[in-house]
């Protein structure tokens, strides 16, 4: 059974991401059109950085393609393909090599992190395969499943005839990417899970005499299957609130479990239960039916995109790797240039500060100077103020 979600909270920390300084605070769930518009914008930002760093001949080639390295819609293809790989790995976790199972809360949070991250960043910047397993690792921490076998999840058989296995992603890389992931999520790691509202709905189905207990339990199991192995892997996880996903999942499986009924019958019952608990906007039967249709379209798109022939084109995959390498080299050069300029400004400021101290601080005349000349040994001693900086003097300001 899923544990209760953590209390709601929002982290609005401004961050300075090492790959791209982008401070816009994004709010989720986000309408599908806006979600994909953000994804296209991230694609364009990454493309601009890569094209700018290319040689003149390659720039001409890019210009001939309209300045496009990867079509924005293909960003979604890549994400769906990688999410499907995680789904396959998760479904294959019945193998004896796995010492623990991956909890559904972890899968849901990981997929939400994954979709949120790639509204700020492009697959031209980060390898989504590395990111999605880093999302699983982070979700294990946020959902407090610390004994989960994340490394086991990344194991894949080497071949049909081989008994050996290899890591899909080098586990050592996950720690290197986690800070980038946290920054891309704006350090907001609170995820409301769909299982508490799903459990509440199923209990109300029994207490309200809509269904008997065994039937309600079957509803819960089948709806949980949708929320674990299907819907979280597509854009629906970032486009709809978890309570709405839970309500729609009950309606979706209703005709499968309840004889001589339709999806609409199930949504009518769910809508009535929600109304009895205090109706929320978007919870009428008509609204739930519309949402369920949108979710069905998104999952159908996912099923098509994950198996698109383009995703099995080795030339495209190699080209994406080259683009990421180019982006990383550009980032490192920019970072080195920023550090050099900061160091130069710091040195100039120190030099200027010392120059001002030397020009403005004159040795104070003592009363003895108006008297007869002192002994030669005192004249030859340097003034202490010209050797040691003043204790109360201003220190060098740090470079901005």
DSSP letter for each residue of 134-154: HHHHHHHHHTT-TT--HHHHT
pLDDT at 35: 94
Nearest to 106 by CA among 44, 10, 191: 191
pLDDT tens digits along 41-63: 999 999 998 888 776 555 555 54
What is each CA distance from 176 to 131, 173, 179, 271, 307, in whole angstroms?
A: 11, 5, 7, 46, 30
Nearest to 197 by CA among 232, 218, 231, 223: 223
d(CA 335, CA 90): 38
Here the tokens at position 364 are 């104070």
pLDDT at 163: 65
Nearest to 229 by CA among 86, 94, 96: 86
Nearest to 269 by CA among 287, 253, 256, 250: 250
Predicted structure pTM score: 0.75
Look at the alpha carbons of 6, 102, 171, 122 in this order and tell me if their dihedral is positive or negative: negative
Taking a C-beta distance cutoff of 8 angstroms, is the pair 242, 192 a contact? yes
Nearest to 78 by CA among 286, 291, 317: 317
d(CA 194, CA 304): 25
d(CA 99, CA 198): 28
pLDDT at 190: 94
Nearest to 103 by CA among 141, 130, 65, 77: 141
d(CA 131, CA 79): 10
pLDDT at 159: 60
Phi, psi of 390 (to 5 degrees): -60, 135
R_g of the chain computed on alpha carbons: 30
Here the tokens at position 224 are 């949980």
Pick out the chain residues at pLDDT < 50.
1-21, 63-64, 367-369, 371, 373-400
pLDDT tens digits along 263-321: 999 999 999 999 998 866 678 999 999 999 999 999 999 999 988 877 667 777 777 88
Here the tokens at position 374 are 């002192």
pLDDT at 291: 97
d(CA 165, CA 183): 33
d(CA 236, CA 298): 6
d(CA 341, CA 336): 9
d(CA 100, CA 93): 9
Which residues, other chains included, contact 391 with Cβ-Cβ below 8 Å and sequence gap of 6+?
Answer: none
């Amino acid at each position: 059974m899923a544990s209760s979600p953590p209390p709601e909270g929002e982290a609005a920390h401004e961050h300075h991401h090492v790959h791209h300084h982008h401070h816009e605070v994004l709010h989720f769930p986000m309408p599908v059109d806006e979600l994909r518009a953000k994804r296209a914008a991230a694609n364009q930002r990454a493309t601009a950085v890569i094209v700018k760093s290319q040689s003149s001949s390659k720039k001409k080639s890019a210009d001939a393609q309209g300045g496009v390295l990867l079509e924005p819609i293909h960003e979604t293809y890549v994400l769906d393909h990688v999410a499907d790989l995680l789904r396959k790995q998760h479904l294959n976790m019945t193998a004896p090599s796995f010492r623990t199972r991956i909890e559904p809360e972890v899968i849901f949070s990981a997929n939400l992190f994954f979709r949120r991250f790639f509204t700020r960043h492009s697959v031209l910047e980060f390898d989504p395969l590395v990111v999605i397993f880093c999302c699983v690792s982070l979700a294990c921490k946020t959902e407090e499943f610390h004994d989960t076998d994340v490394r086991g999840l990344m194991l894949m058989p080497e071949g049909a005839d081989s008994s050996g296995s290899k890591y899909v992603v080098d586990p050592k890389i996950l720690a290197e990417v986690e800070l980038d992931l946290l920054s891309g999520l704006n350090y907001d790691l609170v995820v409301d899970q769909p299982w508490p509202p799903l459990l509440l709905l199923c209990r109300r189905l029994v207490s309200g005499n809509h269904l008997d207990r065994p039937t309600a339990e079957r509803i819960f199991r089948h709806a949980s299957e949708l929320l674990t192995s299907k819907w979280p892997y597509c854009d629906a996880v970032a486009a709809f609130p978890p309570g709405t996903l839970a309500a729609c999942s009950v309606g979706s499986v209703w005709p499968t479990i309840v004889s001589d009924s339709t999806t609409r019958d199930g949504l009518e019952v769910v809508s009535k239960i929600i109304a009895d608990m205090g109706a929320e906007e978007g919870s009428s039967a008509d609204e739930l039916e519309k949402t369920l249709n949108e979710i069905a379209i998104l999952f159908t798109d996912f099923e098509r995109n994950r198996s698109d022939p383009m995703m099995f084109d080795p030339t495209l995959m190699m080209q994406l790797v080259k683009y990421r390498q180019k982006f990383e080299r550009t980032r490192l050069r920019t970072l080195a240039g920023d550090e050099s300029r900061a160091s130069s400004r710091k040195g100039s400021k120190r030099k200027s500060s010392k120059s001002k101290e030397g020009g403005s601080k004159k040795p104070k005349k003592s009363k003895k100077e108006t008297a007869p000349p002192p002994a030669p040994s005192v004249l030859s001693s340097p003034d202490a103020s010209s050797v040691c900086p003043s204790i109360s003097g201003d220190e060098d300001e740090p470079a901005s």
